[in-house]
Amino acid sequence: MDFVDSHAHVWGAGFVPPAFFTRAAEGWAAKAPDRRPDMILPKLLSGIVDPDGDQFVANMDAAGVATSLIMMIDVGAPVFGEEPEVGVEAQIDYYAALQKRHPGRLYCHAGVDHRRPGHLDMVRRAIRDGGLVGIGEITPDGFSVADEAFRPLMRLAADLGVPVQIHTRTGVWTEFAGFDFSEANPVHPVHVARLAREVPDLKIVLCHAGFPHWWQRAAELIADLPNCVLDISNWNETLGHDEAELVARLATWRGLVGIERILFASDQASGARFSGERSELPHWTGFIRDLPARAARWGTRFTPAEAAAIAGANARRFYSLA
Ligand SMILES: [Zn+2]
């Protein structure tokens, strides 16, 4: 089965400022009295680094993934009040080089915060000169994607004809769970639907498909917005304890938006912390590969062709990849 992982992350050294992991480090330290945040911080920072993407591609090989769409996230000053060692423009160059080093295996995105002066020029250069294939991941934190100030970047994406990937999971950054399930949360899919109506030419991926409580809302909101698709990254987190529910949700998504708008994705990160034995990717591809049999076990029907559409064909078509 041809797998395209439509949402994953590869990081170079110095792309993430220490402030990004501060909360995670504090959470780790709070669990035992002899722990201090500075004991874990260097491990968190270095554990995601893959300087040339080779380790990440080995992970893909182990899981049977042919192609991955790689996200860049601007986690610098506009969000964390601190710039990373490596600036945004140098990061774009890294992703352009990564894509060239792994032709047909890795396709990279440019993510530049719209509150950064010159962000439109940086993104235009990344797509036109660097050959990057999309914009993202956009993680709305302190703004909504429906905001007027965000619109120029989205018009640029529509003009360039590249998709934009927008985070629609309750939590952001290292606070994955989140706590605000109302529409006041800027990552609620309702904001994406508003944007999609304002810029109907724009192709949008709703990353994580509204995990965990907005899954049905996400699909309903985009049902009549044909340029929007769902990526099912993070849903593998429910695999171990709720396979029946996951199968039922896939069937509901299919009913609401059509099988052709459901994209396999993992949110897999790079680096030693997520590679080799620690990679969850093989379980996730295995689930989709066996979807027809597993669905039958839970009283639902998925054909092999539908499983193949989710696995890779939908992403290839949406991104016009060979
Ligand atoms: Zn995300």
Nearest 10 degrees: CA dihedral of 19, 86, 92, 273?
A: -60
pLDDT for 244-303, tens place per residue? 999 999 999 999 999 999 999 999 999 988 988 899 999 999 999 999 999 999 999 999
Distance 303 CA to ligand 1 centre (A): 29
Distance 270 CA to ligand 1 centre (A): 14
More confident residue, 95 or 277: 95
Q: Where are the domains of the chain?
A: 4-318
Distance 7 CA to ligand 1 centre (A): 8
pLDDT of residue 110: 98
pLDDT of residue 79: 93
pLDDT for 151-193, tens place per residue? 999 999 999 999 999 999 998 888 877 889 999 999 999 999 9
> Measuring CA to CA, how many Å separate 101 from each of 5, 16, 282?
18, 22, 23
pLDDT at 239 over 90: no
Distance 296 CA to ligand 1 centre (A): 31
Do the beta carbons of residue 313 and residue 68 sit within 8 Å?
A: no
Distance 248 CA to ligand 1 centre (A): 23
Distance 34 CA to ligand 1 centre (A): 32
pLDDT of residue 97: 98
Number of CB atoms found within 10 A of residue 120's CB: 15
Supply the mean pLDDT for the chain: 95
pLDDT of residue 59: 96
Q: Which of 24-33, 82-91, 103-112, 288-297 has the lowest mean pLDDT?
A: 24-33
Helix 88-101 to helix 119-128 angle (10° resolution) is: 10
Domain 4-318 coded CATH 3.20.20.140: yes
pLDDT band at 93 (very low <50, low <70, confident <90, very high): very high
pLDDT for 188-223, tens place per residue? 999 999 999 999 999 999 999 999 999 999 999 999
